[in-house]
Chains A and B, each alone.
Chain A
Amino acid sequence: MYVATGRDLAVLVKPPRVLFVNAPMGNNFGAVGDSAMQTSVLRAALSMIDSTEQGGGLVDYPITWLDNFQFAPGGKASSATANSTTAISATDGAARLGESR
């Protein structure tokens, strides 16, 4: 499973199973100290082992990151404070992904 923050890059390279997380590069599993989201993303990725029907399958993880972030090589990608309120994950949606195992 490939947990990507670059959707267009993953679509080009096409690993067998992709979970796309629309978060800053470097926050593939979420925000600092947000163990609930980190676990949720990990569960969602692992659930794809059974739910993926065709190689190259991509699932968009349900997430809303609280500020606009940017491609920031060597800089700061997100201006939001790095704490558990930075990201909101739609846990209901993530739970549904998990239930598909």
Chain B
Amino acid sequence: MQPIKYVDALNEHYGAMGNPPYRWTVHETAPLHRLTKPLGECTVSLLTSGGVSQCVMPAFNADARNDHRLDAIDHQVAADDFQIHDSYYDHSDADSDINCIFPLERLRELADAGEIGSVANRLWSGFMGRIYNRSKVIEESAPAFADALLQDEVDLLVAAPS
């Protein structure tokens, strides 16, 4: 099937609630940084924006707006130690198998096989959808996240939005 046209679908969905069309961030270009070492020597981390939290943590607000919460998740956490609260998408599959959106077990296997150097000490969940105050992302939340990745000496981040 053809890819879903989310821009149109979202405008229709929220327009029906009386909201004006969303002004999407549009970039004409993107930076590209190249690695200076092979993948087999790289430290890799993960980020999900799918309302995923460890069971010991408070749940995300499924209907949140402008939630800049970002949870650090220990890289050794059990794959069944998660809860998902997000009204924005269908997470029934990920409820059963977190690897559908946050493939921490698959990443560990690649590390064990030597395909990547290591899994970062901290994996991440946050930047849940519907953040409208994008200047706060650009000026505060994203730089703080980048600093955390640098602290962990992360070479690569695999980000999976939901």
Contact = CB atoms under 8 A, between A and B. Distances in A.
A, B co-complexed: yes
Interface of A: 1-9, 12-17, 20, 22, 24-33, 35, 38-39, 41-43, 45-46, 49-50, 52, 54-57, 65, 68-78, 82, 101
A25 to B, nearest CB: 4
Given A42-B106, A49-B39, A73 B99 contact: no
Interface residues of B, number: 53
Given A14-B27, A25-B89, A72-B89, A30 B4 contact: no
B30 A16 contact: yes
Given A27-B100, A50-B39, A55-B30, A68 B1 contact: yes
A50 B35 CA distance: 8
29 contacts: A1-B159, A3-B160, A4-B161, A6-B3, A8-B3, A8-B6, A13-B27, A16-B30, A16-B31, A20-B3, A24-B90, A26-B89, A26-B92, A26-B93, A26-B101, A28-B101, A28-B161, A28-B162, A32-B97, A39-B110, A41-B103, A42-B110, A42-B158, A50-B39, A55-B29, A55-B31, A71-B13, A77-B90, A82-B93
Identify whether the interface residues of A are mostly helix, strand, loop, or mixed: loop
Nearest to A98: B115
Given A38-B106, A46-B156, A16 B33 contact: yes
Contact of A78 (B31, B50, B90, B103): B90
Identify whether the interface residues of B are mostly helix, strand, loop, or mixed: loop
Contact of A35 (B6, B32, B106): B106
Given A16-B30, A16-B33, A42-B106, A9 B87 contact: no
Interface of B: 1, 3-7, 9-10, 13, 24-35, 39, 42, 44, 50, 87-94, 96-97, 99-101, 103, 105-107, 109-110, 115-116, 156-162
B103 A43 contact: no
Nearest to A21: B160
A15 B90 contact: no
Given A2-B161, A32-B97, A82-B96, A26 B1 contact: no
